[in-house]
Amino acid sequence: MSRAVAVVGVGQTHHNSKLPDVNCAEMVRIAVDKALLDAGLTHEDIDAIVLGKAPDPLEGIMQPEQYLAGALGAHMKPIIRVHTAGSVGCTTALVAATHVASGIYGRVLTVAFEKQSEGNAMWALSPNYAFTPPMVAGAGGFFAPYCRAYIMRSGAPSHIGAVVAANARENAARNEHAHLKDPMTVEDVLASPMLWDPIRLLETCPSSDGAIAIVLANEELAKKGPRKPAWIKAGATFTEPMFVPGRDQVSPLAGRMCAKFVYEKAGIKDPWNEIQVAEFYVPFSWYEPMWLENLGFAPLNEGWKVVDRGDQKMGRHMPVNPSGGVLNTNPIGASGMLRFGEAALQVMGRAGEHQVPNVKNALGHAYGGGAQYFSIAILGTEL
């Protein structure tokens, strides 16, 4: 960041398969009000708004930032609407950070939401492209071959996915906002129906309703408090096309480049030992070992060994997804910003029961499209 940017407030709704007592506007407003309250600010303190969400057909409102202008407190303010598939939440937060880093805006409110109960995610996530046979398989059907390729390539034993899912659920139980919290063992996961081999029902993310809002501020304003800010030490988005001969769908080059870029900017040489907690975008269990490798936390084909040893669990070397992650809470457009926001809360020491001790650096990550869009942020206690 050319100018320092910090997270000064975070607010999120409870997440559930259906939040029947609120419409989109009301749901978004809850997150906005909580973020402003958290930052000790009011709407008058906000200079601009950056909104992100995944495809509009999920709720049936086209460009909902227009309808939501009032709920967002955007009247007579600038608003930008971002959409970069599943990565959008984290990318939206980074677009907001760019607004502050530009020096044009002092405080920016960034918001992401999805109300999946209003639409049909399987349909909305099965796009029909020219010259490509429609799979009508949703995201799970799309990503299962990538996970299978990972297993073949790495020789990972078949229980790894179930271990990831059970651990994520254990973590979610400590997160007051998480959607799925019922206890679940490795045996439960292995006994659940196979949906898209190798992905079983209990290794799959839910469809959630939920929203998150974050207030970002420049250095001068961030230091005014009331809370200890989380500094954005680096952030970037890298993207690659779907159809490139030789593209590595299992460990995409865009993800590796994005990670390398942010580590360099943040001055991190050894992420496994210099980052204390990470929130990865893991919609299907196998993606946890895949991202451990793609983001440089484990050597190629050895991410599953980290999971097998349990080094990514709470209380171990570097907890991954202490919030329970996307596997237990997935309002798609908001999921990436939840990774960013949870990383910020860990840095601020305010993650509650799922707080990891002594966090200096935290990583928030999201991906989207056909494993094409990558967005990573490093948040830290120090500038």
Q: Is 133 in the site for other proteins (CB under 8 A)?
A: no
Q: Which CB atom, from 161 or from 369, has the smaller least distance to other proteins?
A: 369
- What does the alpha-carbon distance between residue 109 and residue 111 come to, in Å, rounded to a whole number? 7
Q: What is the DSSP string of 228-262?
A: --EEEEEEEEEE--S--TT--SSS-HHHHHHHHHH
CA atoms within 13 A on the CB side of 30: 15
- What does the alpha-carbon distance between residue 139 and residue 341 come to, in Å, rounded to a whole number? 24
CB 43 within 8 A of CB 65: no
Residues in Cβ contact with 15 at an 8 Å cutoff, skipping those fewer than 6 apart: 177, 178, 179, 208, 209, 210, 329, 331
- Cis bond before residue 226 (omega within 30° of 0): yes
Q: Which stretch binds other proteins (CB under 8 A): 201-209, 254-262, 266-274, 307-315?
A: 254-262
Q: Select the residue interacting with other proteins from 42, 78, 191, 194 (CB under 8 A).
A: 78
CA angle 351, 366, 133 (to 5 degrees): 145
Q: Is 167 in the site for other proteins (CB under 8 A)?
A: no
Q: Is 269 in the site for other proteins (CB under 8 A)?
A: no
Q: Is 363 in the site for other proteins (CB under 8 A)?
A: no
Q: Is 328 in the site for other proteins (CB under 8 A)?
A: no
Residue 60 three-state SS: coil
User: Which residues, 220 to 239, sit near other proteins by CB under 8 A?
Assistant: 236-239
Q: Which stretch binds other proteins (CB under 8 A): 145-153, 251-259, 289-297, 313-321?
A: 251-259
Q: How far is the CB of 255 from other proteins (least distance, A)?
A: 9
CA angle 301, 302, 307 (to 5 degrees): 130
CB 107 within 8 A of CB 248: no
Strand-strand pairing, 277-279 and 373-380: unpaired
Strand-strand pairing, 209-218 and 5-12: antiparallel
Q: Which CB atom, from 181 or from 365, has the smaller least distance to other proteins?
A: 365
Q: Select the residue interacting with other proteins from 79, 147, 232, 359 (CB under 8 A).
A: 79
Q: Which stretch binds other proteins (CB under 8 A): 72-80, 157-165, 272-280, 343-351?
A: 72-80
CB 306 within 8 A of CB 289: yes
Question: Of 123, 106, 88, which Cα lies nearest the Cα of 48?
Answer: 106
Q: How far is the CB of 1 from other proteins (least distance, A)?
A: 7
Q: Which stretch binds other proteins (CB under 8 A): 148-156, 198-206, 351-359, 366-374?
A: 366-374
Q: How far is the CB of 4 from other proteins (least distance, A)?
A: 12
Q: How far is the CB of 341 from other proteins (least distance, A)?
A: 19
Exposed / middle / buried, residue 227 (Cβ in 10 Å: 0-12, 13-18, 19+): middle
Q: Select the residue interacting with other proteins from 31, 85, 111, 166 (CB under 8 A).
A: 85
Assigned token pair, 94: 């980074």
- What does the alpha-carbon distance between residue 348 and residue 213 come to, in Å, rounded to a whole number? 16
State in Å, rounded, how far the first CA of the chain is from the last one: 10
User: Which residues, 15 to 54, sit near other proteins by CB under 8 A?
Assistant: 23, 54
Q: Which CB atom, from 93 or from 160, has the smaller least distance to other proteins?
A: 93
Q: How far is the CB of 34 from other proteins (least distance, A)?
A: 22
Q: Which CB atom, from 139 or from 184, has the smaller least distance to other proteins?
A: 139
Q: Is 141 in the site for other proteins (CB under 8 A)?
A: no
Q: Is 62 in the site for other proteins (CB under 8 A)?
A: yes
Q: How far is the CB of 274 from other proteins (least distance, A)?
A: 23
List beta partners, residue 237.
375
Residue 218 three-state SS: strand
Q: How many residues bind other proteins (CB under 8 A)?
A: 64
Q: Is 253 in the site for other proteins (CB under 8 A)?
A: yes
- What does the alpha-carbon distance between residue 180 and residue 194 come to, in Å, rounded to a whole number? 19
Q: Select the residue interacting with other proteins from 173, 186, 190, 257 (CB under 8 A).
A: 257
Q: Which stretch binds other proteins (CB under 8 A): 59-67, 157-165, 186-194, 216-224?
A: 59-67
Contacts with other proteins by CB under 8 A lie at 1-3, 23, 54-58, 60-63, 65-67, 69-70, 74-85, 91, 95, 98-99, 101-104, 124-130, 236-244, 247, 252-254, 257-258, 369-370, 372-373
